[in-house]
Amino acid sequence: MSEIRYERLSGAALERALPELARLRIEVFSDFPYLYEGSQAYEERYLRTYAETAGSVIIGALDGDQLVGAATALPLAAEPEELRRPVAEAGYDVARVFYFGESVLQKAWRGRGIGVAFFREREAWARGQGGFTHACFCGVVRAEDDPRRPPGHVPLDAFWRKRGFEKLEGALGTISWRDQGEEAETAKPMQFWIKRLAGG
């Protein structure tokens, strides 16, 4: 494996990367805890909308010309009400909070610091936008006794805390998607985590 480079994907570079970005999301989110049943067409539409939002960023991790991972971020104010409301109700000014969407990375590249770099790059982007005091994200909540939980599954809580994020107790949003084996989308509870940005 060679050295990874990071690139902010936009314009023609983003357009070229959309199919691979969509494939990565479907691959990574099919695993527990997301168990996502996605489609290529839906993912490409989702990512294009994300990319066209003012202030948003998609950061690609590339091995040469091969996209092996990506992370997204945008102002929380651009997200739907079901994601804005829990943060507002916790006492934060939504207009000053940056939302980290997702990080997806091929399994072969995990454990090499790329996830850490994704947080670093998105925080740098958020600070560069001006006026943002906090960054947040949310993670799906699954029951401890969920029969689909793999043996030895370790939540990412410790990793997130090392990045300086803390669980925003009581702040639960919802995102709907179709689990593997489901006939239709259902709303999933999403726990928010938050961090004060340096200088914010």
pTM above 0.85, yes or no: yes
* CATH superfamily name and code, 5-196: Gcn5-related N-acetyltransferase (GNAT) (3.40.630.30)
193: pLDDT confidence band, cut at 50, 70 and 90? very high
Query: Which phi and psi angles does 171 have, rounded to 5°?
Result: -95, 95
- What 3-state DSSP class applies to 145? coil
Give tens-digit pLDDT for 31-86: 999 999 988 888 888 888 877 888 999 999 999 988 999 999 999 999 999 999 99
pLDDT of residue 198: 83
Q: What residues does each domain of the chain span?
A: 5-196
Q: How far apart are CA 188 and CA 105, in angstroms?
A: 22
| For range 119-136, the mean pLDDT | 96
